[in-house]
Structure 1
Amino acid sequence: MNLPPAVTAYLTAHNARDVDSAIASYASDAVVIDDGRTYHGVDEIRAWLAGAASEYTYTTDLISAARLDQEHYDVVQHLVGDFPGGVIDLHYRFTLRGAAIARLVIEP
């Protein structure tokens, strides 16, 4: 599946733990929901990305990607690492606004 450039750029940067490139994919007022916590705006999202990049070591494999409509995409990634449980499949549910990510919800 061809994903929008913002989603592809974010996933590539996130997997490389490149916080600056990952944050460039977000709208200035974006929201991220991960692990029961909500992060508002690029400053909070940057801090979340930096923490996630340093907290655990893991690898990711893209399992699937689906376009739900013009603005919504669901990407499933398989993670294996030293986090609790060690293995998980996570949905990355993207909402786009124009060429930027406006919302990302990460959940099993």
Structure 2
Amino acid sequence: MNLPKIITDLVNAQNSFDSIAYTNCFSETAVVFDEGKTHNGRVEIQYWIEESNEKYRSVMKPLEYTENGTSSVLSAECSGTFPGSPIVLKFHFDIVDGLIQHLKVTG
């Protein structure tokens, strides 16, 4: 599967539980929406991913990727220490200037 570099970097950072590398995939003003909560900017995103990594130890296996302009969707099998693991989640991205500006995670 041919993924943009920033998405590959995000998956690699997630799978190695590297919250700093993960956070660096986002712009300074990025917004993440996951599990009913919104996280604004890199500081909140780093706190969210550190907490998520500690709680769920989730790894991603990309299954499908579609792109339409700056918007894209990655379907990935996610497994970890959460109920129902593994599950397939959709990661809806807006990428601007090579960084993620918006991410919404859906089931």
TM-score by length of 1: 0.91
The whole-number CA distance in structure 2 between the counterparts of 1:32 and 1:91 is: 13
Shift of 1:11: 1.4
Alignment correspondent of 1:82: 81
Shift of 1:46: 0.3
Deviations 1:24-80 (A, max 9, x none): 11100000000110000000000001001100234432111111x120111111123
The whole-number CA distance in structure 1 between the counterparts of 2:59 and 2:42 is: 25
Partner of 1:28, secondary structure, is strand
Structure 1: 4+ residue segments shifted above 3 A: none
The whole-number CA distance in structure 1 between the counterparts of 2:58 and 2:79 is: 5
> Which consecutive residues of structure 2, in runs of 5 or more, have no partner in the other structure?
none
Alignment correspondent of 1:20: 20
2:100 is the alignment partner of 1:106 = no
Alignment correspondent of 1:44: 44
**How many pairs does the alignment contain?**
107
1:59–1:97: structure 2 CA closer, same or farther, 3 Å change rule? closer
Is contact 2:94-2:103 (8 Å) kept? yes
1:59–1:28: structure 2 CA closer, same or farther, 3 Å change rule? closer
User: Over aligned residues, Cα RMSD in angstroms?
Assistant: 1.3
TM-score by length of 2: 0.91
The whole-number CA distance in structure 2 between the counterparts of 1:52 and 1:6 is: 20
Partner of 1:3, secondary structure, is coil
The 5 Å alignment of 1:57-72 reads: 57-67=57-67, 69-72=68-71
The whole-number CA distance in structure 2 between the counterparts of 1:74 and 1:18 is: 22
Shift of 1:87: 2.6
> Which consecutive residues of structure 1, in runs of 5 or more, have no partner in the other structure?
none
The whole-number CA distance in structure 2 between the counterparts of 1:2 and 1:82 is: 28
The whole-number CA distance in structure 2 between the counterparts of 1:37 and 1:70 is: 26
